[in-house]
Amino acid sequence: MPLRVVIGVGGGIAAYKAAHLVRYFTEKGHHVNVIPTPSALKFVGAATFEALSGHPVSTDVFDSVDEVQHVRLGQEADLIVIAPATADLMARLAGGRADDLLTSSCLVATCPIVLAPAMHTEMWENPATTANVATLRKRGIVVLEPSHGRLTGKDTGPGRLPEPDHIGTLALAVARCGASAFDHSLEGRKVVITAGGTVEPLDPVRFLSNASSGRQGFALADVAAQRGAQVTIIQARTEPLPTPSGATIVPAMSALELKAAVDEHAQDADVVIMAAAVADYRPVNAAASKMKKGANDTDLSTLELTENPDILAALVKQREAGAIDAETVIVGFAAETGDDKSTPLEHGIRKLAKKGCDLLMCNAVGDGRVFGQEDNAGWLLTAGESADKPVITEVHTGPKLDIAVQMWNAVETLMNER
Ligand code: CTP
């Protein structure tokens, strides 16, 4: 269903990215009104926003007074997204000011409000900004974590505006799931998430892999990052995906590399989620140079394979042995097609018992479902008293970010029980 989206634009150099954000929403069929602050118009002209949104643009509460515009746009909005949100704009919002059309619109709005801050690292980390952000979050306003990277001058660090499509995707998740999707409930927690399909080399140009896109793993990382966690993504082969704000990326292509990375990073983690599709087998020998067809010493018609370690099951054993913290929550996935004897859910229940993890997301795959798709569905299985009789929660088809929100809610329930 099309939403009425108000895009607020603060006066920062990243204001030019707001033009792309307007495009993102209009191309998805939503109705967009842009409200820049007066200083935002020093960076991007009103004509740009008018052309892209198809609506007149004003900054002043005294424009269109006959339509009571200073309250109408905010009252009618389904979603307000402010990008970039400057330190000054957040201070004015935290102070409850209504000194321009954008702040007065926010004051009357009852819809979700999502702010995407952008500023120099010193401004972001200044205690005044920290206090304003905390105030806004306490009031249910979603303040996204800024990206880390190149800022306006020569400086780099936290404070960069995430890419517009990424902001749009996160803001729509808030519109669907509510502001609690990105509350700061994982502040101070360390989470490790594996994502993508492993790559098992045959020679320098060929490999065995699978259809995993890494989207579900990255969606889990996005939600954890926006909930304030310190996120490490152990990334196998994925589609190009935006890095969740502040996340550390550890590349690990093969199952053996992935295991080494998990073993290292799980040590002090509160949660480990094995979303990667790990190859069960790898070629016994990866040739150092390209294998040639018809060469005497290579037979390319058969492949000798050897089994990879089961990283998830090993992690559970390490926890049992006390090598990692007993309170670490361990989460697995099961992508199942079902067969003559068992449904995907029955396979998932057996896999939960076999792996011994605390929570398992079971997806029915095949026929183009799940892999590389925007949406996911399935069942969340919580081990409970006995692993072969888990608590089963059906997860209805929805965007992978929404599935990630539900999974984190379940993980946090387990964390709070420990
Ligand atoms: N997994 C793992 N190490 C492996 C294989 C799988 O850690 N060598 C993890 C995956 O990351 C996932 C879960 O185990 O979280 C289930 O993966 P899946 O491939 O479905 O399990 P398998 O044990 O390979 O079961 P099967 O091939 O029999 O379905």
162-216 per-position pLDDT tens digit: 999 999 999 999 999 999 999 999 999 999 999 999 999 999 999 999 999 999 9
| 3-class secondary structure, 392 | strand
pLDDT-derived band at 69, boundaries 50, 70, 90: low
Mean pLDDT, the chain, whole residue set: 93
Confidence at 60, pLDDT banded by 50, 70, 90: confident
Same domain, 80 and 136: yes
Q: Is 60 annotated as a binding residue?
A: no
- Helix, strand, coil percentages (3-state) for the chain, rounded to 5, are 35, 25, 40
Q: Are residues 276 and 392 in the same domain?
A: yes
Same domain, 233 and 139: no
119 and 203 belong to one structural domain: no
Angle between helices 164-177 and 400-417 (to 10 degrees): 60
Cβ of 280 less than 6 Å from ligand 1: yes
Q: Give the structural domain span for 202.
A: 190-417
Residue 308 Cβ < 6 Å to ligand 1: yes
Distances in Å between the Cα of 123 and the Cα atoms of 157, 158, 205, 229 are: 11, 10, 47, 21
Q: Is 310 in the pocket of ligand 1 (CB under 6 A)?
A: yes
What is the per-residue pLDDT for 24? 98
Q: Which of 135, 154, 181 is the last residue of a domain?
A: 181
By the 8 A CB rule, do 12 and 90 touch? no
Choosing from 259, 312, 380 the residue with most ligand 1 atoms within 8 A of its CB, the one to mutate for a pocket test is: 312
How many domains is the chain built from? 2
Q: Looking at 155, 181, 207, which one is the last position of a domain?
A: 181
Report the distance separating Cα 255 and Cα 201, nearest Å: 11
Q: Is the CB of 229 under 6 A from ligand 1?
A: no
Identify whether residues 60 and 145 lie together within a single domain.
yes
Q: Give the residue, out of 192, 235, 280, 362, with the most ligand 1 atoms within 8 A of its beta carbon, to mutate for a pocket test.
A: 280
Q: Do residue 209 and residue 166 come from a single domain?
A: no
Residue 119: CATH number of its domain: 3.40.50.1950
Q: Whose CA is nearest to atom 17 of ligand 1?
A: 334
Q: What does the pLDDT look like over 118-150, one tens digit per residue?
A: 999 999 999 999 999 999 999 999 999 999 988
Indicate whether 368 pLDDT > 80: no
| b/e sequence 22-61, b meaning 16+ C-beta within 10 Å | bbbbbeeebbbbbbbbebbbebbeeebbeebbeeebbbeb
Q: Whose CA is nearest to atom 8 of ligand 1?
A: 310
| Contact predicate 370/376, CB 8 Å | yes
Instruction: Kindly compute the dihedral angle of the four CA atoms of residues 323, 321, 276, 341, in this order, to the nearest 10 degrees.
Output: 180
87 shares its domain with 226: no
Helix (H) or strand (E) holding 215: helix 215-226
The pairing of beta strand 142-143 with beta strand 113-117: parallel
- Decide which of 181, 211, 245 is a domain's last residue: 181
Same domain, 11 and 153: yes
* Residue 33 · residue 55 · CB < 8 Å: yes
Which strands make up the sheet holding 230-235, listed edge to edge? 248-251, 230-235, 190-195, 271-274, 329-336, 359-364, 375-382, 391-399
Residue 172 corresponds to which amino acid?
L
Q: Answer whether residue 370 shows pLDDT above 70.
A: no
- Flag whether 333 is marked binding: yes
Give me the active site residues, please.
Answer: 210
Q: Are residues 201 and 170 in the same domain?
A: no
Instruction: Report the nearest-CA residue for atom 20 of ligand 1.
Output: 334
On whether the pTM is more than 0.85, the answer is yes
